[in-house]
Structure 1
């Protein structure tokens, strides 16, 4: 009995792993591609994809022989969003910020060693910020991520500062451990974080923490804009508005 239970648990983990991989493939992926990415036998991958397709978690396009995330995943994601207040509660607050700034407003939470975008309101301009809800990003290259590290619990903050992989996404990304320590210390001192082309060339952002009663950030709120639209100083001029919105979110959102 123990062996069967472990096998079932392992298969569930493999199926969930395929869903995660498909989340990184918006155009879809074939069974053979997913098999290689997941390091699973093709027969196992094909069987799991069949089960996931049957239950609506995955869609299959027979013309291109590609698999994509299905509407069942979207449904569950919406339920999570509603449960945490990201849709009904957070969106009007984000919309008010965007109405004033004319730029994208983004709400993120920490998901392990990444940040997860949970809500976003685009600005009225044609240029779109690409961090849509569901996007997983790096902590050290983003303003939302720096805030989530700086205002994490002392134990989490120490681990992230000392052990987070400092991958370079642009020439401006922080890759030196001492520089990262100094950056997180500055964010804690100032109460906000700036991203200046560290995560994506041509983009800037400023973020503030959304704090719980214990004084740790359970979310991070950002304004993001292309560098040709706002200087760093112009972004920082919106800090009072962003901090006011973060305080409102802290009062209204369920704390995690």
Structure 2
């Protein structure tokens, strides 16, 4: 059994890489999967055959494209909802949306990216649409600043060093220090034109950072003054949320 330098099994890693290709796509062909994973088509074909036998992927005999199989849904049905922030915090997110009127998102950090694990869309006709599962850069945006500002200092330093060609490090550190002081972060058109956002941290009962709670919308509605007012309500909501999450 071939192992990598980190001690993991190479075939298993490759099979999981194939499954992860379906994060943003519903169905994919053999060539597309090979391009996404960087593996030879013959290797991908063999791994897909194994995944198909076990029910993790299904091949369409007409299009010859693959999609996720029934085993994935069986596994997801057994996720512990009592420990899943995306599930247990949804009612509070909906309540916050109804109060503030804007799109509410929940983010966690995954290495050098942030992932939107839950979202409640604004009811305005012109609104910020936030797709669940989206991976976004960690060096920009209100929620990103929260996930960095309230993480441990070693993580902060390591991440900031990686971004030295993308940001003004001195200015960024000053901003992070201010965020820790006031308890919230804002962004105006930092990642998307016309979009503003304000974010606050969610801590569990052990004061460990769990996620970033964010409100986003058009810049004409989310002014700096409005975001400052929203931040107080968001902090109250985040405090309630934190009490719902197990350490």
Band of TM-score, shorter chain:
0.7 to 0.9
**Residues 15-41 of structure 1: per-residue CA shift (max 9 Å, x gap):** 1112222213x2533211221221111
> How do residues 1-256 of structure 1 correspond to structure 2 at under 5 angstroms?
4=1, 6=3, 9-24=9-24, 26=25, 28-70=27-69, 72-74=71-73, 76-77=75-76, 79-80=78-79, 82-164=81-163, 175-213=167-205, 215-255=207-247
Q: Is the Cα contact below 8 Å between 2:2 and 2:11 reproduced in 1?
A: no
C-alpha displacement of 1:164: 4.2
Report the Cα distance in structure 2 between the residues aligned to 1:166 and 1:69, rounded to whole angstroms. Answer: 38
Alignment length, in residue pairs? Answer: 244
Classify the secondary structure of the residue corresponding to 1:238: helix
Q: Is the Cα contact below 8 Å between 1:57 and 1:70 reproduced in 2?
A: yes
Report the Cα distance in structure 2 between the residues aligned to 1:60 and 1:166, rounded to whole angstroms. Answer: 43
Q: State the TM-score, normalized to the length of structure 1.
A: 0.83
Report the Cα distance in structure 2 between the residues aligned to 1:221 and 1:70, rounded to whole angstroms. Answer: 32
Structure-2 change in CA distance of 1:183 and 1:249 (3 Å)? same
Q: State the TM-score, normalized to the length of structure 2.
A: 0.86
C-alpha displacement of 1:62: 4.1
Give the CA RMSD over aligned residues.
Answer: 2.5
Tell me which moved more, 246-255 or 4-13.
4-13
Q: Is the Cα contact below 8 Å between 1:113 and 1:164 reproduced in 2?
A: no
Q: Is the Cα contact below 8 Å between 1:140 and 1:166 reproduced in 2?
A: no
Aligned to 1:171: none
C-alpha displacement of 1:89: 2.0
Tell me which moved more, 197-206 or 225-234.
225-234
- Which stretches of structure 1, 4 residues or more, deviate above 6 A after TM superposition? none
Structure-2 change in CA distance of 1:108 and 1:34 (3 Å)? same
Tell me which moved more, 223-232 or 53-62.
53-62
**Residues 149-188 of structure 1: per-residue CA shift (max 9 Å, x gap):** 0000122122122224765xxxxxxx33333223222222
Structure 2: segments with no counterpart, 5+ residues = none
C-alpha displacement of 1:240: 1.4
Classify the secondary structure of the residue corresponding to 2:192: coil
Structure-2 change in CA distance of 1:111 and 1:126 (3 Å)? same
Q: Is the Cα contact below 8 Å between 2:113 and 2:137 reproduced in 1?
A: yes
Structure 1: segments with no counterpart, 5+ residues = 168-174
